[in-house]
Structure 1
Amino acid sequence: MSVALAVLVLFSTFSFTVEKHYCGDNLIDVAIFSEAKSCGMEIESEPKLKKTCCKDIVDVIEGQDELQSVTFDDLDFPTQVFLRAFVQAYIVNFESLPKQIIPHRDYVPPNLIRDIQLLNDVFLI
């Protein structure tokens, strides 16, 4: 449970960029953490002369900058009482049971030398 919460905090504070390269209306490349590859149709000469059909879109996804930490003393009194009662009731459910006593644990049955029912041909039906 604590590992899952630590991973949740890590990903909520993590920020990254997503770059997309379009040529006309077609998506050519999508890159996370790096630059998107171009289609090679960009004009290397003066950009004021001709308008290019390619465009780059950069989406920045920002994580949280500040995390709020709350201590038990910051909670209001009814919430503190509820939490203490809940924890106490939860702990009581996990108390160990008394050891069970097995009365015939050391009993060794007698050795059978002869089967008396077979000798007398008497069988219980």
Structure 2
Amino acid sequence: MAFVVLFATMSFVVNMHYCGDVLVDTAIFQNVKTCGMEMQNPSTEGCSMTQKDCCNDEQIVKDAQNELQLSVDKISFDQHIFITSFVYSYINLFESLNENTTSYQQYKPPVVVRQIYKIDEMYLI
């Protein structure tokens, strides 16, 4: 449960660098390494032609959940039923028996008429 709360309240960014249609690098929590084929700024080169850059950077941002649902009145009736049945069944798993019951308590062993080891003449030496 602690991991669920941790991941629900944690935010992160996934950076991806594409060169054309090919994924070159992926990074979490840091900047991606480029392929080195980015176009230079045309104003610094003195070139008046504009070409389309083949490289593309994308970011996937997962924002954190700032508020957790702590009030019980927002839980639906079906969720109440699930929680109560789960707690009831979980508690009953660890209930110990007060008396040590056995299924063979009423069983009486048969009367031994002969001792088999004497009949077969088998002795431990």
TM-score range, shorter chain: 0.5 to 0.7
Query: Which position in structure 1 is the counterpart of 2:9?
Result: 13
Unmatched tracts of structure 2, length 5 or more:
44-48, 101-116, 120-125
Question: Can you list the C-alpha shifts for 1:47-98, whole angstroms capped at 9, x where unaligned?
Answer: 7833211110111122322101134xx479xx59x94xx75xx46x725525
* TM-score normalized with structure 1 length: 0.55
What is the CA distance between 1:124 and its match in structure 2? Answer: 4.8
Query: Which position in structure 2 is the counterpart of 1:33?
Result: 29
Query: Which position in structure 2 is the counterpart of 1:63?
Result: 64
Bigger mean CA deviation after superposition, 8-17 or 42-51: 42-51
Secondary structure of the 2:14 match is strand
One-letter identity of the residue aligned with 2:54 = C
Q: How does 1:38-117 map to 2 (within 5 A)?
A: 38-46=34-42, 49-71=50-72, 74=73, 83=84, 87=88, 90=91, 94-95=95-96, 97-98=98-99
CA distance in 2, matches of 1:24, 1:33: 24
Give the % identical residues. 39
Q: 1:95 to 1:70 in 2, by over 3 A?
A: farther
The size of the alignment, in residue pairs, is 94
One-letter identity of the residue aligned with 2:52 = K
Query: Which position in structure 1 is the counterpart of 2:104?
Result: none
Q: CA RMSD in A?
A: 3.7
Question: Can you list the C-alpha shifts for 1:19-56, whole angstroms capped at 9, x where unaligned?
Answer: 11111111111111111111111122327833211110
| Deviation beyond 6 Å, 4+ runs, structure 1 | none
Secondary structure of the 1:18 match is strand
Unmatched tracts of structure 1, length 5 or more:
100-122
